[in-house]
Each structure stands twice: as structure tokens, then as C-alpha cells.
Amino acid sequence: MTQDDEMPAGISFGEASFTSGSEFANSEDAALLTTARIRHFAESVLSAEAWFRTADELTAAMDLVGRNVERFWDHFNSIIFAVDMTTDPPTRYQKRKTEPKRQGNDADIKYNLANQHMMLAGFAIENLCKGYLAGLLGPKERDEVRAGKLPETLRTHDILKLVRSTGITISEREKDLLDRIGDTNWRGRYPSPTRHAQIRPFAQWEDDAARIKTFLPRLRAHVGAKNS
């Protein structure tokens, strides 16, 4: 392929497209391909909307997994309620207040997926923060991006650090939530972290999903991302 030739039809370095990949493998002009890759890299990294769009997709995936988490807690609470029934009979008020909804069946809650739900929340939060931070890059950093290098401020995966770097005010409860979300970066994917020192006590709470649903819109508004 020469520089005078057009790129094969159907290939896009912007929105996703579906190709076999052979067009890239058969390219004879590596320099042209590298230039196109760097251009796509720079356009994506410097676009807040690109980061925010990915956050939208991750949030949608998180919501799907969240349904399973809710079923798990319903099932868990039904067991606790059954144990309580073996002691003092609950009053009509207690029964109405504590008896859980029964949804799905045992097959639905084989895995609670709480770690995966929080991991996806962390990925969404990371993208929201990096979309905001991309808009704060200085001229030198932007030039580095256009040369194909990711700035140091966008390399971290530390959720708490990224959130704080946006300047948003967080409560102690939100700090605890974000700290634990950061832990699921490995807990949601692997049986063990890369270093044994990273293993520490870890808690999951029934209201984590609700607290995430409250925090995400607040962060979106702070960083200027439109509602998904």
C-alpha cells in the first residue's frame, strides 16, 4: 500500500468498526499505519467525551451486574429472616419491614458478583475522572499525547487519588467506599493481587450498590459529563 492509496473501506480510527484485521496485517506502509494509530490515540485521549462515553458503557454493564447483587442480598436476607423466625415470632410491623422480596432462584445467586459490580463502578469512575483531567492538560502534555505518549496524570488507576484530583469534596463514608472500590481492581478479576502485601481485610456492605448509585451522578455533574 502506498501513501497515495486510500485506507481500505470500512476501517475507522474513530468509532468502532468491524473488520477482520487482515487490512492491517497486509499493509505495506508501516509508517502510514503508525501515524494513523497515533492520531487515533491522541484524539481519544484528549477527548473528554470519549472518556465519558466509555464511562456510560461501563455504568450500563455495572447496572446489569447490579441486578444479580440485589438478588444475592435478597437471598442472604431471606436466610437471616428464616433464622430469626426460629426465635421470637416477629410482630406484624417487623415482618413487613424486614421480610425480603423473593426474586429469581438459587441458580441466579450462585455468585454474588459484588466484587465485579464494584470493579465496573471503579472503571466508570476512572473514566469520568480522566475525562475531566484530560481537559486540564497543559500544552506540553498535549504535545506529548499527539506524539503518542500518555501523560503521567492519566496513567494511574488509583481511584481515590483520581477522584480527589478532580477537586470534588468527599465524605468519610465515600472515602471508605472509594478505597474499597480500588481494591476490587484485582478482586473482581483475579484470585490474588500481584503482591502479597496488597492482601488486607475487605468488607462488602448491602448498601454499597446504593451508595455507588448516589455517588456516580454527583461525580458526573462535577466533571461536566452529561447524564447517560
pLDDT at residue 94 tops 80: no
Instruction: State mean pLDDT over 173-201.
Output: 90
Tell me the torsion sign for CA atoms 166, 172, 176, 181. negative
Q: How far apart are alpha carbons 190 and 70 in whole angstroms? A: 23
Instruction: State mean pLDDT over 67-91.
Output: 63
Lowest mean pLDDT among 2-11, 36-45, 137-146: 2-11
Q: Where are the beta strands (DSSP E) in 119-177?
A: none
- Note whether 20 and 46 are within 8 A (CB): no
Q: How far apart are alpha carbons 149 and 13 in whole angstroms? A: 17
Q: Kindly report, residue by residue over 114-150, the tens digit of the pLDDT.
A: 999 999 999 999 999 999 999 999 999 999 999 999 9
* The pLDDT value given to residue 78: 63
Per domain, the residue ranges of the chain are 48-70+112-223
Q: How far apart are alpha carbons 19 and 216 in whole angstroms? A: 34
pTM more than 0.85: no
Fold of domain 48-70+112-223:
Four Helix Bundle (Hemerythrin (Met), subunit A) (1.20.120)
